[in-house]
Structure 1
Amino acid sequence: MTSPAGAVPAKRSTMAPQLKEAIRQLITQDEMGPGDQLPTEPELSEHFGVSRNKIREALKLLEQDGLVTAIQGRGRFVSALGSLPIERPVNVYESITALLQGLGYKVTNVVLSVEEGTADARVARELQLNEGDPVIRLVRLRLGDDQPMVFSINIVRRDALPGPLKFRNWGASVTKSLEGHGHYIAFSIARLSAANLPAEYSEAYDLARYDPWLLVEETCVTREGKRLLYAIDYHRSSEIAFNVVRRR
């Protein structure tokens, strides 16, 4: 049977997040503004070719992110936050690739270096290691439509990704690689600030012209509470921003 237009693949574990993003794209495509009412659950169910329960789960995720507001007896409406097409919710953990794809970019991951090293005082503190413990240091440049968008430095506990470095695809998602070894990131502790790219990188890769960057430092924690990944991501500030919901 042919899937209807706009249909989303029915994979149980990822259905709600996929539908959430599909509905968000629908809001953008239809140029819906703050206060505009969303289609009803039955209408969305028919549009995407999925059950109303799945639609309801996705709408709940949109509500949690502050992108949609539900008013009892009236329906669901686009919030001021949900009507912004460029910025992303700051309280959502997602990979850099997913973030850029969500903004409509064709993503290319360029691996600049990957090497084994040891944890300095800062890394040891963030990953709850001892100074000198082994780590993997991965440096990548993320391109969106062939333009520099995110400069990433990922530092991973060595025991989380065993085996020779040369046999692993370092252009792929580190989060997915960790999942392949049974480590599932549940949340991250993040800090955002404005910063210039360190000179050793800006000069080597001709990136100084994009200063300043939006620096996002994240310590990623598994379901069991283990800190596995310390990510230092410089987002191109002229192209990427984040939204935060503030409530009274």
Structure 2
Amino acid sequence: MAISGVPGNGTQSRALTVRDAIIDLIEKRGYQTGARLPSEAEVVKALGVGRTTVREAYRFLEQEGIVFSKKGAGRFYSATPELLRPLTRLEGVTEMAASRGLKLSNQVLSITMNDPDKKEREELGVVANEPVIRLARVRKQRGVTLVYSEDSFPRSFISDALDAVDWSGSLFELLDIYGVHVVQSVTQISAQCLPDDVAEQLGEDATTPYLLLVQQHRNETGRPVLYSRDWHRGSEITFEVTRHR
């Protein structure tokens, strides 16, 4: 954890840097849920920053659900934080995690080119012999599955060979590179479990509750460009929505 100085202008920016250093420490040391974290004094000594900055850094971590405190006992690691996201915000899983400072592993389970099935033809407005790309991925946080995704979009969008493309990052950003810009989506939400074959493949309990978002993503002209199915782990990710009377 020894770091020679923490750059930044002002207490808040320095606190965010310290926050990131604490997250790195958690990952490097492989802390388990409930593990006691370094005290404020230990972090001050290790990083050469003020106690106020360290206290602010821990406050950020507590707000994000990564750390919890016990009066008189210290601060402890609470494993995967709950993600609370506004439902009206259109963002990919990669962007959602990055906004909370989370480092998720992103495993590509499969990437194939197929003729579209009936649902893909309806959602993407493609014809029967127009190939689509199907991408299946899983995002995990310290071994815990947070999101399983299945995405479909026209093969014509990607001018390169499939094996020449890095599919592990943000799909929105990748499509942007090829001139396809997702700006809105129509979303259906339901409580579901993972498909049985997926749960078996991932070694997951098939009864674990997930929130399934089925989305038709559209570009700036309203054309459907991406059809996605994202299973969000119910115990870790919460969406919020503002309703008006």
The CA deviation string for residues 147-187 of structure 1, in whole angstroms up to 9 with x for no partner, is 21000101111111122100000101111111001111111
The separation in 2 between residues aligned to 1:207 and 1:30, in whole angstroms, is 28
Which protein shows a greater Rg?
2
Q: 1:30, CA displacement in angstroms?
A: 10
Paired residue secondary structure (2:183): strand
Superposition CA RMSD, Å: 2.5
C-alpha contact 1:160 1:181 (8 A) present in aligned 2 = yes
Q: Check if 1:198 corresponds to 2:203.
A: no
1:4 aligns with 2:9: yes
Aligned to 1:157: 154
Give percent identity, aligned residues only. 29
Q: Which runs of 5+ in 2 are unaligned?
A: 1-6, 14-55, 64-81
- Which is worse superposed, 150-159 or 97-106? 97-106
- Determine if contact 1:120/1:131 at 8 Å carries over to the other structure: yes
Q: Does the Cα contact within 8 Å between 1:117 and 1:134 map onto a contact in 2?
A: yes
Match status 1:172 vs 2:169: yes
Cα distance in 2 between the residues matched to 1:223 and 1:95: 17
Alignment match, 1:29: 60
Structure 1 gaps of 5+ residues are: 8-24, 33-84
Change (3 A) 1:203 1:146: closer
* Cα displacement (A) at 1:204: 1.8
Q: Does structure 2 conserve the Cα–Cα contact (< 8 Å) formed by 1:105 and 1:145? A: no
| Correspondence 1:231 to 2:228 | yes
Residues 21-48 of structure 1, C-alpha deviations (whole Å, 9 max, x = no match): xxxx99x73989xxxxxxxxxxxxxxxx
Q: Provide the rounded CA distance (Å) in 1 between the counterparts of 2:117 and 2:182.
A: 23
CA deviations over 1:175-207 (Å, ceiling 9, x no partner)? 111100111111111111011111121112212
Distance 1:126 1:246 in 2: 27
C-alpha displacement of 1:232: 0.5
- Please report how far the alpha carbon of residue 145 of structure 1 lies from its aligned counterpart in structure 2 after TM superposition: 3.2
Cα 1:30–1:203, aligned 2, differ >3 Å: closer, same or farther?
closer
1:107, distance to aligned residue in structure 2 (A): 1.1
Query: Where does residue 130 of structure 1 map in the other structure?
Result: 127
The match for 1:110 among 94, 107, 127 is: 107
Q: Tell me, in whole angstroms, the C-alpha distance in 2 between the residues paired with 1:86 and 1:140.
A: 19
Q: Which residue of 2 aligns with 1:65?
A: none
* Cα drift, residue 146 of structure 1: 3.2
Q: Counterparts in 2 of 1:45-84, with a 5 A limit?
A: none
Separation of aligned partners in 2, 1:31 and 1:205: 30
User: Do the aligned partners of residues 31 and 116 (structure 1) sit closer, same or farther apart at CA in structure 2, a change above 3 Å counting?
Assistant: closer
> d(CA) in 2 for partners of 1:174 and 1:89?
20
- Return the alpha-carbon distance in structure 1 between the equivalents of residues 175 and 110 of structure 2: 19
